[in-house]
Amino acid sequence: MLRGAAAIAAAASALPAPRIARAAGPAWPPRPITIVVPYSPGGGTDIFARALAEGMRSALGQTVVVENKAGANGIIGAEYVSRSTPDGCMLAVCTGAHVINRYSMAQIPFDPVKDFTPISKLSSFPLVVAATEKAPFNDVAGLLAAAREKPGSISFGTTEAATSYAGNSFARQAGIRLVEVPYRGSGPQLNDLIAGHISLAVTSTVAVLPYLNGGGIKALGVTSTTRSPLIPNVPTLTEAGIRDYEFTGWYGMYGPKGIPPEIAAKLYAAIQATLANPTIGKKLKDLGADLDSLGPDGFPAFLEQDDKRWAAAAREGLITAAP
């Protein structure tokens, strides 16, 4: 996985990207920019962020580095960024769990919507219910039969609140009992899946794709309403018999609260230039990313709607805060 990230970065650096005009006078950015990934190295978010960082380096004319700060479903890294100086030089790339955490955890040290500057919704992507190749089942029907024969005997790995919700809602709608095993990132999650320490994992297409077709993992279903063009032979969970099931993940970039609007706009312009780079755009799409970005003008409204969605889910008992 890390080699794949390095390959993306190398390809990105080989192509020139449009330079973005300095945002806050000729000295901006005044120092290297850090993008915090609040999960372990080697996962889907990490791969996406590293490709993005390399493209932004070319666009901004400044060093952009990625730093992993994993733990607490992404809380540790996000809190670190929230407490940094709001000058646009400390950012985070998070999944949709950034918003869900306030409803899936008893307490978090920030408001995920109000305590950050939303820079860009970067991408949306389906999740995949994947199994170790050592599992005795090869499709959702086989999984359901095995789970009903021995309730609670099948474990599934998750990495944060979004994958936890997707996996538990899948089990609930299927009428089976699975045992959740949380991980600090999809790197260690998929390593354990390949080794057979867990039977299932709920993860992103970005993370799982390199391990399909003989890599130790088999995909059973995707959570989107339509099949992924990357794995067109894998059915949606609805097609596999889980009626009306749908869940789509997403990546977003944030900074601490108070970043000046002109800097947020320049960061978004650098992101747009990066995604428009043919090599980077193709690589990310080949990894399953749908590059439907939103900027500082549209991303806040998206976050407000997403927050309302999860608040309603919590009221209805679909999300329970962990103690």
Global model pTM greater than 0.85: no
Half-sphere exposure of 91 (CA within 13 A, CB side): 29
- Assigned token pair, 270: 């650098």
- 286 pLDDT above the threshold of 90: no
Contacts for 233 with CB less than 8 Å, ≥ 6 apart: none
pLDDT band, residue 320 (cuts 50/70/90): low
For residues 189-223, b (16+ Cβ closer than 10 Å) or e, as one string?
A: bbbbbbeeebbbbbbbbbbbbebbeeeebbbbbbb
pLDDT band, residue 146 (cuts 50/70/90): very high
pLDDT at position 100 is 92
**Helix 44-60 / helix 278-286 crossing angle, nearest 10 deg:** 170
Query: How far is residue 34's CA from residue 31's CA, in Å, rounded to a whole number?
Result: 9
pLDDT band, residue 321 (cuts 50/70/90): low
Query: How far is residue 103's CA from residue 176's CA, in Å, rounded to a whole number?
Result: 24
Least confident of 61-65, 248-252, 269-273: 248-252
Half-sphere exposure of 316 (CA within 13 A, CB side): 8
Q: Are 146 and 171 in contact (CB under 8 A)?
A: no
Average pLDDT, the chain: 88
The percentage of the chain sitting over the pLDDT mark of 90, rounded to a whole number, equals 63
pLDDT band, residue 15 (cuts 50/70/90): very low
pLDDT band, residue 121 (cuts 50/70/90): very high
* 30-67 confidence digits (pLDDT tens): 999 999 999 989 888 898 899 999 899 999 999 999 99
pLDDT band, residue 186 (cuts 50/70/90): confident
pLDDT at position 28 is 83
pLDDT band, residue 23 (cuts 50/70/90): very low
